[in-house]
Structure 1
Amino acid sequence: MTEPLRVLILDDDFRVGQLHRGIVDDHPACAAMDPVRSIAEARDSIRNARPDLLLADVFLPDGDGIALVRDAGIDAILISAADDAPTVRRALRSRAVGYLVKPFERRALTGLLDRYARYRNLVAGDRALRQEDVDRALAILHGAGEPVSLSRSATEQLVLAALGDGEASAAEVGERVGISRATAQRHLAALAARTVVEVRLRYGATGRPEHRYAVRT
């Protein structure tokens, strides 16, 4: 099973930090680190623990979240009440992979985490990437026209499309969609429970049978 992405949350409001932590921990591909409340604490955590993703507010008591993202050398999503165009442009120039304006619905952050996890899954490891791999990863990361609040039903539609007219394992579906095997398995199980897909068993020479999924006709 793929290790969860470690997410560091930076917000000077303790309640907001805990709220974001709950959303991150509810995501099957992510695990929240202890939230921090200042630029100084964030720099220490980044230096010592090297999180995979930073969720950072913009305006903090001891500095600028955008400057931190620019210098941190890790992927980041900026979350702020600032909705003015200059701040958003400055955030995007910092190489942030996303920007959320407060307040937002829970599913907006969940959708961004979905896309980021799929992107990371596609570019994981040390293998050589084809141009189509790069194009697909960038399309997923930037939404390819989808709203940031990608819903569970939208993800299930991607899973169904990956199955097509044939059958596949959860690992194969995950690779086609750009999500982890565990996430694909969760969606396939939900679809099977609603009899949208059927589960077939493939028996090999040794070991347990492999679960194969196909769209019920």
Structure 2
Amino acid sequence: MTQPLRVLVVDDDFRVAGLHRDVVASRAGFTALDPVHSLGAARLALRAHSPDLLLVDAFLPDGDGVEFVAAVDVDAFVLSAATDAATVRRALRAGALAYLTKPFEARVLAERLDRYARMRNLLGTDRPLEQEQIDRALTILHGSADATSVSRTATEQVILEGLGDGEASAAEVAERVGISRATAQRHLAALASRGQVEVRLRYGSTGRPEHRYAATR
């Protein structure tokens, strides 16, 4: 079973930090760690809890949040009231995966978290990645008008019906709907890139994880 992604909020405003924590806690597949309100506390939390994702304010009482993001080897979003291009560019150079300008609605952060989870899911493999997989991961993370406007093909609709409410491998889906495994794999990958199918990893006795697919609801 996939472990929930641990998220640490770093914000000196206690109320805002609590709101962001609550958004994280409301998303399936995430665990919200107790927020911290300074970079010193964030460094301690990093060692204690090994978060998967940081939500960091750009400016904190004891230092620069963007510099902190650049210094740690952890995925991060920068959340800031600063809208000047220089700060945004600096955050992106630091490695921030997203930059959200405060104040923002809860749904905006929720959407970015869901995209991040799908991106992590797609890149959750030790095997070499093809360029198509990398491009798809970046499209999922940053969003694409094209990706959300593509309609389901007839084959994809049949595959979704074959998945039903459970999960299955590409081979199982292929057998259920009467298509080849390669065709099922290709269409499942397309559905996953648009967020219509979730990809899960199941580890068996052989050590190589099996990809399992489930329709998102």
- Residue equivalent to 1:14: 14
Q: Which string of whole-angstrom CA distances, capped at 9 and with x for unpartnered residues, describes residues 82-113 of structure 1?
A: 11111111111111000000010111001100
Match of 1:177 among 192, 206, 212: 192
- Residue equivalent to 2:127: 127
Task: Give me the identity figure in percent.
Answer: 49
SS in 1 for 2:34: coil
- Residue equivalent to 2:162: 168
How far does residue 36 in structure 1 lie from its aligned partner after superposition?
0.4
Aligned ranges for residues 36-51 of structure 1 at < 5 Å?
A: 36-51=36-51
How far does residue 54 in structure 1 lie from its aligned partner after superposition?
0.2
CA distance 1:34–1:114, change in 2 (3 Å): same
How far does residue 43 in structure 1 lie from its aligned partner after superposition?
1.1
Give yes or no for contact 1:28–1:183 (8 Å, CA) kept in 2: no
Q: Does residue 84 in structure 1 map to residue 99 in structure 2? A: no
How far does residue 164 in structure 1 lie from its aligned partner after superposition?
2.4
Give yes or no for contact 1:171–1:180 (8 Å, CA) kept in 2: no
Aligned ranges for residues 53-202 of structure 1 at < 5 Å?
A: 53-145=53-145, 163-166=156-159, 167-169=161-163, 170-171=166-167, 176-177=191-192, 179=198, 184=214, 187=217
CA distance 1:55–1:97, change in 2 (3 Å): same
Give yes or no for contact 1:79–1:100 (8 Å, CA) kept in 2: yes
Amino acid at match of 2:20: H
- Residue equivalent to 2:23: 23
Give yes or no for contact 2:156–2:188 (8 Å, CA) kept in 1: no
Contiguous gaps of at least 5 residues in structure 1: 147-153, 188-217
Number of aligned residues: 179
RMSD: 2.8
Amino acid at match of 2:144: A
CA distance 1:174–1:31, change in 2 (3 Å): farther
For the residues of structure 1 that align with 2:162 and 2:26, how far apart are their CA atoms? Answer: 27
Give TM-score, length-normalised by structure 1. Answer: 0.73
For the residues of structure 1 that align with 2:151 and 2:124, how far apart are their CA atoms? Answer: 20
